Amino acid sequence: MNPRAFRNPAILGLIIALPACGGRNVRTKLDPLFDTSAARQAKSDAPELYQAARHARDAAEDEEDAEVSSDHQVRSRLLLGAAVLKAKRTALREMRFAAETEARTYAAQARNDERAREVWIRKQQRRRAAEVALEQARLAFETAEEDEARRYRARGAEVRRVHAQASRALATRARSLTAVAVVLGASATRADAIYKALDEAKDITDATERMRRVDASLQAARSLLGEARRSQAAPSEDERASLIAAAQEQNFSASRTEHGIVCVPRSARTSHGVWAQRLASLLRAHPHGPVVIEIRASSRAKTRSAESLWNTTLKKEGVDLSRVQVQPQPAGSGSTSVRVVWTGYGPEPKPPEPSSGAASSSEPSLPPGSSSPSKLSASELMQ
């Protein structure tokens, strides 16, 4: 037995209170000790010590010798005290385990709460940062608006002057094209409508709206001129020159070839849709012959996509697609992405040359033995 057990006051009290008596008084003195709640708890938590204490009690009861019986009683009391102490130690260990488990649970909950608090703090910080950024952006936007308004006021007069000059130039061009169309036999009613729209555009104060109205009148004048030119069997030399000049105004590089007038975009950064819109205005004003649009792209899929875009844009602009053929560029045709060939605006056919018999009959006769003037030598010419 553990010697420290004798330091427990309860055990020492049991030992001191043990009288030296015989076996017939053992059960009367020991049974109350086994009927306590601590003994019952020791019976379940320390069964070995509890059973040893009961055996010692039974031995004390069966012993006739009072001194030996007293030793068994002391042993029974000590074993029962040890069982009670072990039961208490077991209960304390379970209580400590439960307390540690609860502490770990609380610690985990505290960590979760701390993480939640940090997340909430970060959210609040981001919200405040977003509010500050939004306020700074609002202030920057207001400052930019003020600067822009200040710059616009400073250059407003110059901008209005440039817009007015551009509007006047476009209006003059529209009037000139309309007059040419009337000379070629276009409808005077439609020409008067264009003149009226140009006169009304003069009174518009908004520069953008005035420019839009004048540009619409210019497009109408080109369409009217195209209808007037369509009545002619073939394009004249003046119309060929006009096509080249108009193509250059639309930022095309135009040149005459044996296949017709070839137009190539000057800028590779402009999209296909913009070039299609510019070409549509040229097609309306120059209606003769078919036009071949050759597309070059890095892949077949991109080529088909560009072809579809050209057809869709031209149709949207009111161009007769039966006159236009969009196809991939043939090999060796150049490195440009777009190539427009106006096949109806090729060189004029040469007049037929007179036959050889007629030519010989019209030439004066030469003396026999003399040579033709074109076959004379340099010495003969000097003579």
Amino acid at 298: S
Instruction: Between 72 and 5, name the one with better pLDDT.
Output: 72
The count of C-alpha atoms lying within 13 angstroms of the C-alpha of 113, restricted to the half-sphere facing its C-beta, is 6
Q: Is the pLDDT assigned to residue 18 strictly greater than 50?
A: no
Euclidean distance between CA atoms 204 and 216, whole angstroms: 14
Q: Is the pLDDT assigned to residue 151 strictly greater than 50?
A: yes
**What residue spans of 17-65 are helical by DSSP H?**
26-34, 37-45, 47-62
Of 1-10, 93-102, 322-331, which gets the smallest average pLDDT?
1-10
Tokens of 234: 């073939």
Residue 215: how many CB atoms within 10 A of its CB?
17
Strand-pair partners of 254: 263
Tokens of 190: 């439609």
Q: Is the pLDDT assigned to residue 187 strictly greater than 50?
A: yes
Euclidean distance between CA atoms 141 and 147, whole angstroms: 10
Q: How confident is the model at residue 140 (pLDDT cuts 50, 70, 90)?
A: confident
Describe the strand order of the beta sheet including 338-342 as a list of residue ranges.
252-257, 260-265, 338-342, 291-295, 324-328
Q: Of the CATH numbers 2.40.37.20, 3.40.640.10, 3.30.1330.60, 1.25.40.10, which one belongs to the domain with range 234-347?
A: 3.30.1330.60
Contact predicate 49/42, CB 8 Å: yes
256-293 confidence digits (pLDDT tens): 888 889 999 988 788 888 888 888 888 888 888 889 99
Residue 22: how many CB atoms within 10 A of its CB?
15
Rg (CA), the chain: 59
Strand-pair partners of 341: 262, 292
Amino acid at 221: A
The overall pTM is greater than 0.95: no
Residue 156: how many CB atoms within 10 A of its CB?
11
Q: Is the pLDDT assigned to residue 161 strictly greater than 60?
A: yes
| pLDDT of amino acid 332 | 58
Which residue matches tokens 């609860």? 102
66-75, 111-120, 331-340: range with highest mean pLDDT: 111-120
Euclidean distance between CA atoms 97 and 297, whole angstroms: 78
Instruction: Between 332 and 181, name the one with better pLDDT.
Output: 181
Q: Is the pLDDT assigned to residue 14 strictly greater than 90?
A: no
| pLDDT of amino acid 111 | 92
| pLDDT of amino acid 334 | 58
Contact predicate 276/310, CB 8 Å: yes
235-252 confidence digits (pLDDT tens): 888 888 888 988 888 889
Taking alpha carbons only, the member of 306, 245, 314, 246 closest to residue 276 is 314
- Residues near 306 by Cβ (< 8 Å), separated by ≥ 6? 272, 295, 297
Residue 244: how many CB atoms within 10 A of its CB?
19
| pLDDT of amino acid 156 | 65
- Percentage of the chain lying above the pLDDT 90 cut: 11
| pLDDT of amino acid 117 | 93
The 3 state secondary structure assigned to 242-260 is HHHHHHHHCCEEEEEECCE
Tokens of 353: 């040359």
| pLDDT of amino acid 368 | 43
Euclidean distance between CA atoms 76 and 70, whole angstroms: 10
Of 80-94, 144-158, 215-229, 302-316, which gets the smallest average pLDDT?
144-158
Q: Is the pLDDT assigned to residue 370 strictly greater than 50?
A: no
- Residues near 70 by Cβ (< 8 Å), separated by ≥ 6? 18, 20, 21, 60
Residue ranges per domain, the chain? 3-108, 234-347
Amino acid at 279: L
Q: At what angle do helices 37-45 and 66-183 cross, to 10 degrees?
A: 70
| Positive or negative: CA dihedral 149, 151, 157, 159 | negative
